[in-house]
């Protein structure tokens, strides 16, 4: 397990490095006007602009710029915002927004796990009955209907019927977070329900379950000690990674409910060519993504030590 952990860590670092490099090169293909604020573009002469670019190292050869950028990342120096908040450190720009997105994402993940797995268990216990069909219909609906449509339905029902606030407010975050969290949870609940049912039904059809029944093991004992335990092992692999997917979904949800999180910040930074903010957010998402996949594999091995992720040749 130790060798596998080290190997996967190295693979994760390489993956993040590749993503960061590609984004850096793409950002450097933009016109150099992105470096200046609106006022500077109006006031600076071409000579002054060139001096500023030279001082910032943006006229250096690309390999030199890339090596310098790697060095800044190693020092956790992400530069300053040039457009969103001119002259403010990028970490400060992202800080509060990151906290809001993480709070919504973590809450949605916990709700998704509990509700989704519960629905999957109920479907399994009522296979081919009305409750199973209802759960399947929900999964199909969530996957088939565009996200904006389902969000609109949640917004209409929550605001008109339940009287919940339709827009997020930092003055009342608890109540105004309800609808965004519900929308973030919709797809994950459907996914967990689908896979929980699928894995549990698959376990129920295996020979060792039939043997347990012959030996007189109760249905509840079979479900708890065998079926759910074994079905949760492959499901657990996707739990850490699903956290990223939940945060990724916030790009649309946060814009839809006016949540001042990372979602609107990323789109604003892209539209306004705030390169340092875009690069930092991409690094953050890349790290979360690779870490999620890595932790998923480790969690699966911890739950079932029989699982071996490496073969004789050391490959997965």
Tokens 């310098």 belong to which residue? 68
At 204 the pLDDT is: 76
Q: Which residues pair with 89 in a beta bridge?
A: 80
Angle separating helix axes 147-156 and 239-256, nearest 10 degrees: 70
Q: Is 139 exposed, middle or buried (0-12, 13-18, 19+ CB in 10 A)?
A: buried
Using a CB cutoff of 8 Å and minimum separation of 24, what contacts does 171-176 make? 173/100, 173/103, 176/257
Asked whether the beta carbons of 256 and 110 are under 8 A apart, the reply is: no
User: Rounded to an integer, what distance in angstroms lies between the CA atom of residue 57 and that of residue 59?
Assistant: 5
pLDDT in tens, the chain (316 residues): 667 678 777 888 888 888 888 888 888 877 777 777 677 777 888 888 788 788 877 778 888 888 888 888 888 888 888 778 877 888 888 887 888 888 888 888 889 889 998 898 888 888 889 999 999 999 999 888 888 888 899 999 998 888 888 888 888 888 888 999 998 888 888 888 888 888 888 877 777 777 777 777 666 667 766 677 777 777 777 777 676 666 655 778 888 888 888 878 888 888 888 888 888 888 888 887 777 777 777 777 776 666 555 555 444 4
At 315 the pLDDT is: 44
Asked whether the beta carbons of 79 and 72 are under 8 A apart, the reply is: yes
At 219 the pLDDT is: 67
At 309 the pLDDT is: 53
At 57 the pLDDT is: 78
At 75 the pLDDT is: 86
Chain-centre distance of CA 89, in angstroms?
Answer: 24
Q: Which residues pair with 80 in a beta bridge?
A: 89
């Amino acid at each position: 397990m130790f060798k596998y952990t080290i190997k996967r860590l190295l693979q994760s670092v390489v993956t993040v490095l590749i993503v960061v490099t590609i984004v850096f090169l793409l950002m450097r293909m933009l016109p150099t006007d992105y470096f200046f604020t609106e006022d500077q573009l109006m006031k600076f002469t071409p000579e002054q602009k060139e001096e500023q670019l030279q001082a910032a190292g943006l006229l250096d050869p690309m390999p030199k710029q890339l090596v310098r950028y790697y060095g800044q990342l190693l020092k956790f120096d992400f530069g300053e915002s040039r457009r969103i908040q001119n002259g403010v450190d990028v970490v400060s720009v992202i800080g509060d927004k990151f906290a809001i997105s993480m709070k919504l994402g973590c809450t949605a993940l916990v709700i998704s796990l509990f509700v989704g797995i519960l629905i999957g268990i109920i479907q399994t216990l009522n296979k081919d009955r009305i409750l199973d069909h209802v759960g399947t219909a929900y999964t199909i609906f969530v996957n088939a209907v565009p996200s904006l449509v389902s969000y609109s339905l949640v917004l209409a029902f929550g605001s008109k019927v339940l009287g919940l606030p339709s827009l997020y407010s930092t003055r009342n975050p608890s109540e105004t977070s309800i609808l965004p969290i519900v929308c973030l949870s919709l797809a994950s609940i459907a996914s967990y329900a689908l896979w929980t049912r699928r894995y549990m039904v698959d376990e129920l059809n295996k020979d060792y379950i039939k043997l347990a029944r012959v030996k007189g093991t109760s249905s509840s004992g079979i479900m708890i000690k065998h079926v759910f335990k074994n079905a949760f092992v492959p499901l657990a692999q996707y739990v850490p990674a699903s956290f990223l997917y939940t945060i990724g979904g916030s790009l649309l949800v946060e814009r839809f409910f006016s949540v001042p999180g990372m979602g609107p910040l990323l789109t604003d930074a892209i539209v306004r060519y705030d390169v340092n903010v875009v690069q930092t957010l991409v690094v953050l998402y890349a790290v979360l993504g690779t870490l999620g996949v890595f932790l998923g594999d480790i969690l699966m091995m911890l739950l079932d030590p029989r699982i071996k992720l490496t073969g004789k040749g050391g490959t997965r």
